[in-house]
Amino acid sequence: MSDKIRNDLIGVLKSEIQNHADLTILSDEDLQSLITKALDNKIDWARANSPEAFRELAALNFKEKKLIAGAVYEAIRGLGVLGQIIADPDVTEVMINGYQDIFIEKAGRLYKDERQFESRRELEIIIAKFVSMAGRQVNESEPIVDTRLDDGSRVNVVMQPVALNGPIVTIRRFPKEAMTVQKLIQYGSITPEIAEVLELLVKCKYNIFVSGGTGSGKTTFLNALSNFIPRDERIITIEDSAELQIKNIDNLVRLETRNAGPDGKGAITIRDLIKSALRMRPERVVVGEVRGAEALDMLQAMNTGHDGSLSTGHANSTFDMLSRLETMVLQGAEGLPLEAIRQQISSAVDIIIHLSRLRDKSRKTVEIVEILGYDPENRRIMTNVLYEFRETKTNDSARNKVVGSLVRTDKPMQNTQKLENAGIDRVI
């Protein structure tokens, strides 16, 4: 069924249900039953009166009928067009640029959605609804808000006067099932052999940073790595917006930042949470993403008995991640000598895993790098590339399709002390 026919059907069903005399007193369950019955009646009508229309409706499978019924319900009692969009589990990102322009991401590709909100006012009402449900507010004096939907999706809202082309809503959605290394292997991001190595590195408490650009899959990869952590350890996760889905840890503490209130007070930052977490006797600290001065606290945690800690950061390469860490540490300790910062980074971080979104929109692990320490003579952090993505130039490898794999370099791993401490005698 085409998007146009599906949207027309949703619009027709919405109009019919809204004219129901008892709509305001119907329970949610009764409303859903009414919508399902109306959809079935529409299919029966098409079968009897319009063979051409029936061909379209007859092709609906159970999943599509459920999506249509859910979209009608959301349009009446939920989040309208937005509810219709997020009812589709295949949508991973939603970008609303004013009430007329909606873009969605599916399978790593961006599409313009034909649906629109009826007016700017309708979009503003829907924004106010889900923002207030999270105990927040958005207005001219507080035009930028970060919040979450009920399903855990991360939401950023920018309103006038900051947004010139109307209310802007950006939603990052997350799979209901936690990402696993097995799924990363299935998607071709890593191989089973590399997964085995990563499992060893996590269990032997190597401090690991996952770097990459926007949308490269850093949080997804971090979530998969976290499932290698032994079940009997005490873990504290710290995030701007709770996204990690760690399932196998019993002694788990989850912390989330808080923005300042309308009076500008009450903000709790990642830096505040890291300092507090270190008083909770964690064995490992997992920080969803470091962006600023909290990098110093994270590195200090890694250097003071919290081996095996994990985090992510925005960067275009491994080298860029090291440079960004230097800049972020300076934000937290202005005036600290660059040499001292590099020594701190090189002694804290053991492994950097760099991810990238390639030209065909696929997300790949492109590099796994070992940090060897600080070279005072050349005043730089020494690195050792263990794995790198190599593209295979074949007939299948073209501008719109990347063929290749993550392969082992000929450089042996040098920082093997933690492997030895864990009683593992193995060459990586």
Co-location of 303 and 362 in the same domain: yes
- Token representation of residue 323: 């440079």
The answer to whether residue 426 sits within a structural domain is no
Co-location of 187 and 335 in the same domain: yes
Domain range for 16: 1-77
Co-location of 351 and 341 in the same domain: yes
Cβ neighbours of 329 (radius 10 Å): 27
Answer whether 79's CB lies under 8 Å from 151's CB.
no
Of 173, 193, 227, which residue sits at a domain end? 173
The answer to whether residue 428 sits within a structural domain is no
Cβ neighbours of 421 (radius 10 Å): 11
- For residue range 146-205, list pLDDT tens digits in order: 888 877 788 999 999 999 989 999 998 877 777 788 888 888 888 999 999 999 999 999
Q: Residue 246's pLDDT band (boundaries 50, 70, 90)?
A: confident
The answer to whether residue 163 sits within a structural domain is yes
Co-location of 159 and 197 in the same domain: no
Co-location of 1 and 42 in the same domain: yes
- For residue range 66-81, list pLDDT tens digits in order: 888 888 887 777 788 8
Co-location of 39 and 61 in the same domain: yes
5 SS3 class = helix
Co-location of 155 and 231 in the same domain: no
What pLDDT, on the 0 to 100 scale, is given for residue 412? 93
Say how far apart CA 325 and CA 304 lie, in whole Å.
18
Co-location of 35 and 104 in the same domain: no
Tell me what the mean pLDDT of segment 292-317 comes to.
92
Count how many domains the chain has.
3
Co-location of 241 and 367 in the same domain: yes
Q: Residue 108's pLDDT band (boundaries 50, 70, 90)?
A: confident
- For residue range 114-128, list pLDDT tens digits in order: 888 888 888 988 898
Place of tokens 């949470």: 273
What pLDDT, on the 0 to 100 scale, is given for residue 24? 67
